[in-house]
Amino acid sequence: MFTSAFYCDVTRGILPPGRSLRASVTYSPTVVDTVSVEYLSLKYNGSINNPQLTLKGKCIGPSVSLLP
């Protein structure tokens, strides 16, 4: 089963001309030593091309050393 490592707090909405909207994207990987790549599409009425934002994240595990 696929679960996203990224979460965006905005999934849809109406944005009037000349206004802005702030969205937060959170990266929460569940497996260390992995790279995640996903795409966030921006869709709007009357558009021929919908721009995409590339989301990339790299999860690096903790550094561990054992002493005798």
Asked if residue 30 is part of any domain, the answer here is yes
Asked if residue 45 is part of any domain, the answer here is yes
The confidence score (pLDDT) of residue 1 equals 56
Cα–Cα distance for residue pair 25/9, rounded to 1 Å: 7
Average confidence (pLDDT) over 45-59: 89
Residues 6+ apart with CB under 8 A from 45: none
Asked if residue 66 is part of any domain, the answer here is no
Amino acid of residue 65: S
Range of the domain at 44: 6-59
Distance set, CA 45 to CA 5, 14, 16, 60 (Å): 28, 10, 12, 40
Task: Tell me the per-residue pLDDT of 8-33, one tens digit each, with 9 for 90 and over.
Answer: 999 888 888 899 989 999 999 998 99
Asked if residue 20 is part of any domain, the answer here is yes
pTM (global) more than 0.75? no
Predicted confidence band of residue 36 (pLDDT cuts 50, 70, 90): very high
Asked if residue 65 is part of any domain, the answer here is no
Dihedral sign (CA 8, 55, 5, 43): positive
Asked if residue 1 is part of any domain, the answer here is no
Q: How many domains does the chain have?
A: 1
Give the residue carrying structure tokens 């001309």: 17
